[in-house]
Amino acid sequence: MNIVNLPYDLLSEESSSPLILDYRAEKESSKQQVNLSMNTFSFLLEGHKEVYADTSSVSIDNSHFLLMKSGKCLMTEKLTGQENNYRSILLFFSDQDIFDFARKHEVNLQKKASRKTIHAIPYDKFLRSMVEGLINLKDLSEGTRKKLLRVKFEELMIYLSDLLGTEFLSSLMMDLDDHTHRFLDVVETNKLNKLSLNELAFLSNMSLSSFKRNFEKHFNESPSKWFQDQRLEYSAFLLKNRSQRPSDIFKEVGYDTLSNFIQAFKQKFGITPKQYQLN
């Protein structure tokens, strides 16, 4: 699968930050490997979006939008509605834009902020009106558009800082170059997600061989065995604590058929899922 580099693969020419794109898709995509060169607001207007990153994964419809830190992620875009539409207003901005905003408004960026690379934020009336304002910029001259875009970016950050607090700004500036921390975050965050080893290696910014080598070094077993055990442990929790039937959960824990799930469960726990639930 080809890697999509955003925003540059969507630009016809270079432009200064912040910059905006009205993105529409006519075809669905699944776990597209994406390299975000800039921090990004994805103001989802139509469709459904799923994103897997190193510290979190989210799934939203158009009642929410995303704030994503620059870096690697996997994106799924699904069409919705009678006309099968997908539309998102993408607002890209740099780390320097954050520093400039923080300095101007005397925001103290915390050095020990939580490591969070994706924020799913619900729309409210004011935020929807802001997105409409961003869309209307397209009708203005280039010079006026660039000046107003910077003003609107600042307005958006002021509002979100009041709404969410300023920790989200600090989390965008967290240094994620520590490969060990990133690797462990990817594994822990995605232990129940149905991602391939290639996809996990991509999120970890590693080759597949390096990912496998680091995995066995830290967990003392193969990735396939470890992830299977994690999902079976989770299935046991669902059976015992949420009274769910094996037929309700086998796909959720990564099995294509109920019989394969029952066989793997019995091999690990010595009894069938139904027997485990009744014990």
Note whether 107 and 169 are within 8 A (CB). yes
Does the pLDDT at position 182 exceed 70?
A: yes
Please indicate whether residue 116 or residue 203 has the higher confidence score (pLDDT): 203
pLDDT at 257: 93
CATH code for the domain in which residue 277 is found: 1.10.10
Query: Which range of residues forms the domain containing residue 73?
Result: 4-172
Q: Which two tokens stand for residue 226?
A: 């470890």
pLDDT at 176: 46
By three-state DSSP, how is residue 84 classified?
A: coil
Q: What is the percent of the chain with per-residue pLDDT over 70, rounded to a whole number?
A: 96
Residue 206 lies in a domain: no
Q: If you average pLDDT over residues 219-234, what whole number do you get? A: 91
pLDDT at 174: 66
pLDDT at 149: 95
pLDDT at 178: 62
Q: Could you tell me if 116 and 233 lie in one domain?
A: no
Composition of the chain by helix, strand, coil, percent to 5: 45, 25, 30
pTM of the model: 0.79
CATH code for the domain in which residue 145 is found: 2.60.120.810
Residue 143 lies in a domain: yes
Does the pLDDT at position 175 exceed 60?
A: no
Q: If you average pLDDT over residues 134-150, what whole number do you get? A: 92
For 102, residues 6+ apart whose C-beta sits below 8 A from its C-beta are 108, 109, 169
Q: If you average pLDDT over residues 92-102, what whole number do you get? A: 89
Q: pLDDT-based confidence at 147, cuts 50/70/90?
A: very high
Of the candidates 30, 41, 84, which has an alpha carbon nearest to the alpha carbon of residue 65? 41
